[in-house]
Structure 1
Amino acid sequence: MNASEQATNLELASKIATVVNLFKFQFPDAKSDLKPWKNDPETRELVDPDSIDIGFHFPGISKSWRSRSVLIQIRFHQDPITNLRRAIGIEVAGFDHRGEAWRLSTVENWNIVGESVPSLQIGDKLKQFCRQILELFNEKSEV
């Protein structure tokens, strides 16, 4: 779900802003997009209500990124017993003019896969960024 729609309280809004700042600290040329999904019926059917989705766009196509845009999806799960909502993983996808060029998932082995993957240096920074997001959303305070 678009990050702009998920910012329903001060704590969540602050954490979303922190995610944007963490990304821009690592990748200063990126422009953030808190509404990466269109607001039409077809798109609404595909959107995961248990995620916070943020897009980032770069000027031109970066050789080290091998993409022009990146979509970050922070996935959550609400524990029915403790009622705590925790970040359970992050999906990152890079897009170029052809569509999805590569993908990173923190759910399994943290490998970046695709036809045109980013450089090792970018991959390492991206994985560090994902670790920071998981720490941020899984602090003791409730999301």
Structure 2
Amino acid sequence: MNAAQKATNIELATKIAAVVNLFKSKFPDAKADLKPWHNDPDTRELVDPDSIDIGFHFPGWSRRSQCRSILVQIRFYEDPVEAYRRVIGVEIAGFNHEGLAWRLSTVENWSIVGDSIPITEVAEKLKDFCRQVFELFNS
């Protein structure tokens, strides 16, 4: 779900802003997009209501990251009985002019798969970003 729609209280809005700042600390040229999903019936059908989704766009194609845009999806598990929310995974996808270029999932083995994967330095920055997102939301 779009991060802008999930920012329903000051605590969550602050954490979303912290996620943006964490990403921009690693990729200063990236511009954040808190509404990466369009509000149409087909898109709403695909959107996970238990996630916070943020897009990041580079000013052109990034050779180092092998993409033009990155979609970050922070997936949650919410326990209504215990009244807590935890991050259970972070999904990151890089897109170029042809569509999906690569994908990183913390649910599996934290490897980046795809046709055009980023250089090792960028891959490590993305993994470090994921670790920091877990720390931010689960501490």
Using structure 2 for the length normalisation, give the TM-score. 0.98
CA distance in 1, matches of 2:106, 2:45: 24
- What is the rounded CA distance, in whole Å, between the counterparts of 1:26 and 1:91 in structure 2? 17
SS in 2 for 1:90: strand
Which residue does the alignment assign to 1:135?
135
With over 3 angstroms needed to count, the CA separation of the structure-2 counterparts of 1:87 and 1:123, relative to structure 1, is: same
For residues 60-71 of structure 1, the aligned pairs below 5 Å read: 60-71=60-71
Q: Does 1:121 align with 2:121?
A: yes
* Residues 34 and 117 of structure 1: CA distance in aligned 2, closer, same or farther (over 3 Å): same
Match of 2:32 in 1: 32
Runs of 4+ in 1 over 3 A off after TM superposition: none
The amino acid that maps onto 1:64 is: R
- Report the counterpart of residue 99 of structure 2 in structure 1: 99
Q: Could you say what secondary structure the match of 1:28 adopts?
A: coil
- Provide the C-alpha distance between the structure 2 equivalents of 1:69 and 1:54, rounded to a whole number of angstroms: 11
Q: Which residue of 2 aligns with 1:78?
A: 78
Write out per-residue CA displacement over residues 12-32 of structure 1, whole angstroms, 9 at most, x where no aligned residue: 000000000011111100000
Report the alpha carbon displacement of residue 108 of structure 1 after superposing the two structures with TM: 1.3
Gaps (5+ residues) in structure 2?
A: none
Displacement after TM superposition at 1:84 (Å) = 1.4
- Determine the structure 2 residue equivalent to 1:52: 52
Q: Distance in 1 between matches of 2:103 and 2:129?
A: 15
Q: Which amino acid aligns with 1:57?
A: H
The Cα of 1:83 is off from its aligned counterpart by 2.8
Q: Which runs of 5+ in 1 are unaligned?
A: none
Name the count of aligned residue pairs.
139
1:40 is displaced (CA, Å) by 0.6
Q: CA deviation at 1:121?
A: 0.1
The Cα shift of 1:79 comes to 2.4
Deviation at 1:81, TM superposition (A): 4.3
User: How far apart are 1:82 and its partner, in Å?
Assistant: 2.2
| Identical aligned residues as a percent | 68
TM-score (norm 1): 0.95
Report the counterpart of residue 112 of structure 2 in structure 1. 112
